[in-house]
């Protein structure tokens, strides 16, 4: 692995490192009063919630992208979120991960961590992993090296490229390889993988940090039917150990994985329930599913 690749990896992946610099978010906004980053093990879920949003609002140039959003997710839950384009699904994830600061409202991780007090890198370090729509694996590295890089959050380790994985990390890497169905492809270059396999690899990179909560934005877009089916199995195998929030338009996929489904529209929750319940809801049919 070359040093500049390691540095690139640092930039992108070492969100898992706490930074104490400027206090300026990606969007340029200043976050008030930073708290001490906590480790994933400290999240208090005694009240039965891993994530809690109450009356969240954010407007962009007067346009209310998130408008009175209330949502909570239980530890180990796999929550599906559906809704028309522009409903605010991605913006909701931006708020949870600290990329966008809401104008008002409450966002808690567990019952004690006020996420609005933390920056993006700290939030990732606390155990909230995010998968964006487009896979961003390092194409020129092997599958194994990509997963290894996901662990290299320590600057000194990255500089020296001294990747001596400890026993626990080796076990984790092997476990993740098998979870994401890439055990037989560990030595392959990531660039040679199919689109679906790249998506799984990126999920694997998130899993290396053993996140408490995983946010996945349109994970099966562009996948073949078979890849979609395998991704459903993968997500089902992740719930329990992790909490997941999955945004998708693919209703067959949602049907395969869903317990509780949240329908988002105009920046707020329109309906919530089983997929059958929300699909039978007149308002949901009106705005999203069509007649
Ligand atoms: P979804 O993911 O449900 O399709 P988004 O959260 O991407 O919806 O977008 C919700 C609305 O907010 C859209 O109208 C989008 O154009 C707008 N929006 C999202 N992010 C920004 C931003 N950073 N600046 C301005 N408008 C934005
Ligand atoms: Mg979106």
pLDDT score recorded for residue 43: 86
pLDDT score recorded for residue 136: 82
Task: Please give the distance, rounded to the nearest whole angstrom, from the Cα atom of residue 85 to the centre of ligand 2.
Answer: 7
pLDDT score recorded for residue 251: 95
User: Helix crossing, 225-238 with 167-179: angle to 10°?
Assistant: 140
pLDDT score recorded for residue 47: 82
Going by pLDDT thresholds of 50, 70 and 90, the confidence category of residue 24 is very low
Quick one: how far is CA 270 from the chain centroid? 22
Note the pLDDT tens digit of each residue in 121-175: 999 999 999 998 777 899 999 999 999 998 876 555 555 555 678 888 899 999 9
110 lines ligand 1 (CB under 6 A): no
pLDDT score recorded for residue 75: 96
Task: Please give the distance, rounded to the nearest whole angstrom, from the Cα atom of residue 186 to the centre of ligand 2.
Answer: 31
Ligand 1 atom with least separation from CA of 267: 10
Note the pLDDT tens digit of each residue in 180-206: 999 999 999 999 999 999 999 999 999
pLDDT score recorded for residue 23: 34
Report yes or no: 172 and 210 within 8 Å, Cβ to Cβ. yes
**Geometric angle at alpha carbon 224, from 9 and 243, rounded to 5°:** 55
pLDDT score recorded for residue 133: 74
Task: Please give the distance, rounded to the nearest whole angstrom, from the Cα atom of residue 81 to the centre of ligand 1.
Answer: 16
Per-position DSSP letters for the chain, written without gaps between them? --HHHHHHHHHHHGGGS---S--B-TTSPBPSSPPPP--GGG---TTS-SEEEEEEEEEETTEEEEEEEEEEE-TT-EEEEE--TTSSHHHHHHHHTTSS--SEEEEEETTTEEGGGS-HHHHHHTTEEEE-SS----TTSBHHHHHHHHH---HHHHHHT-----HHHHHHHHHHHHHTT-GGGTTSBGGGS-HHHHHHHHHHHHHTT--SEEEEESTTTT--HHHHHHHHHHHHHHBTTBEEEEE---HHHHHHH-SSEEEEETTEEEEEE-HHHHHT-HHHIIIII--
Nearest CA to ligand 1 atom 6: 88
pLDDT score recorded for residue 45: 85
Note the pLDDT tens digit of each residue in 35-48: 556 655 578 887 88
pLDDT score recorded for residue 151: 83
166 lines ligand 1 (CB under 6 A): no
Probe residue for ligand 1, chosen from 69, 90, 269 as the CB with the greatest number of ligand atoms within 8 Å: 90
93 lines ligand 1 (CB under 6 A): no
Task: Please give the distance, rounded to the nearest whole angstrom, from the Cα atom of residue 65 to the centre of ligand 1.
Answer: 6
Q: Delineate the domains of the chain, giving CATH numbers in brackets.
A: 3-289 (3.40.50.300)
Supply the mean pLDDT for the chain: 86
87 lines ligand 1 (CB under 6 A): yes
pLDDT score recorded for residue 135: 76
Note the pLDDT tens digit of each residue in 98-116: 999 999 999 999 999 999 9
Note the pLDDT tens digit of each residue in 68-84: 999 999 999 999 999 99
Probe residue for ligand 1, chosen from 87, 88, 94, 248 as the CB with the greatest number of ligand atoms within 8 Å: 88
CA-based nearest residue to 129, from 54, 237, 238 = 238
Q: What are the structure tokens assigned to 118, written together?
A: 């933390």
Ligand found nearest the CA of 221: 2
Task: Please give the distance, rounded to the nearest whole angstrom, from the Cα atom of residue 247 to the centre of ligand 1.
Answer: 14
Probe residue for ligand 1, chosen from 60, 63, 81, 134 as the CB with the greatest number of ligand atoms within 8 Å: 60
Question: Where do we find the tokens 């560990």?
Answer: 186
pLDDT at 230 exceeding the cut of 50: yes
- pTM, two decimal places: 0.86
Nearest CA to ligand 1 atom 15: 86
């Amino acid at each position: 692995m070359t040093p500049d690749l390691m540095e690139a990896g640092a930039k992108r992946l070492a969100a898992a490192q706490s930074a104490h610099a400027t206090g300026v978010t990606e969007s340029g906004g200043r976050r008030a009063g930073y708290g001490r980053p906590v480790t994933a093990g400290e999240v208090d879920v005694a009240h039965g919630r891993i994530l809690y949003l109450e009356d969240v609002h954010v407007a962009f140039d007067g346009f209310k992208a998130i408008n009175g959003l209330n949502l909570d997710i239980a530890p180990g839950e796999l929550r599906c979120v559906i809704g028309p384009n522009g409903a605010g699904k991605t913006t909701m994830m931006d708020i949870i991960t600290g990329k966008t600061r809401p104008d008002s409202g409450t966002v808690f991780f567990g019952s004690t961590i006020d996420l609005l007090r933390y920056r993006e890198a700290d939030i990732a370090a606390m155990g909230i992993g995010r998968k964006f729509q487009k896979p961003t694996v390092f194409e020129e590295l092997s599958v194994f090296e990509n997963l290894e890089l996901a662990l290299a959050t320590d600057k000194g380790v990255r500089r020296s490229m001294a990747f001596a994985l400890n026993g626990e990390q080796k076990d984790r890497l092997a476990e993740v390889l098998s979870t994401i169905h890439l055990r037989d492809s560990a030595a392959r270059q990531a660039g040679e993988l199919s689109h679906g396999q790249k998506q799984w690899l990126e999920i694997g990179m998130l899993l290396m940090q053993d996140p408490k909560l995983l946010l996945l934005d349109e994970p099966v877009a562009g996948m073949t039917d078979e890849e979609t089916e395998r991704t459903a199995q993968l997500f089902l195998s992740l719930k329990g150990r992790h909490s997941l929030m999955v945004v998708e338009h693919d209703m067959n996929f949602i049907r395969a994985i869903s317990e509780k489904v949240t329908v988002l529209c105009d920046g707020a929750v329109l309906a919530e329930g089983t997929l059958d319940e929300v699909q039978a809801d007149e308002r949901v049919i009106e705005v999203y599913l069509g007649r």
